[in-house]
Every structure is written in C-alpha cells, then in structure tokens.
Amino acid sequence: MTAEKFLKSKKYPSFNNAGGIGIGYCHQAMIEFAKFHVEAALKAAASEAYTKDVPYTDDVEVDSESILTAYPLENIK
C-alpha cells in the first residue's frame, strides 16, 4: 500500500478536506517518516540480532525473535 492510498483509506479530515494540509504534502512527509524508521529498525536489527544453536546438529541459525524485537514499535510516535 502506498502512503497516498493509506491516507485516503483512513479518511483523516485534515488530510482529505479541501481546506486541509493536502494529500501531496502529507504523502511526502509519510514517506520520509517511514524511511527514517525503516533505516533505524534495520540498523537496530543488524546490531541486536544473534544466533542460536540448532538442537542435535552443529548448525546455528539467526534467532528471528531477536530481529523482530530489535526496534520496538514504541519508537514510532
């Protein structure tokens, strides 16, 4: 889903009314906001991810939970 489609689907009055901010400006702001947080999340995942042993083998695997919890959603405000 694009930022524009997201904004239109939410029907926020200030973004969709004639006197509001305007979908174009808000669209660009949402993209920049998302890029900021995606970059921060990827950096956090890269530094916080760890591996774990696979039982009964000599293999290791990335612990997916360490990646999924590396950047808490509370960081997005």
The pTM of this model reads 0.65
**pLDDT above 60 (res 57):** yes
CA distances from 6 to 22, 56, 77 (A): 14, 46, 17
Q: Report percent pLDDT > 70 for the chain.
A: 81
Q: Report percent pLDDT > 90 for the chain.
A: 29
Confidence of residue 59 (pLDDT cuts 50, 70, 90): very high
pLDDT tens-digit map of 14-43? 655 555 556 667 777 888 888 999 999 999
Tell me the domain boundaries of the chain: 3-75
> Rounded to whole angstroms, how far apart are CA atoms 11 and 22?
12
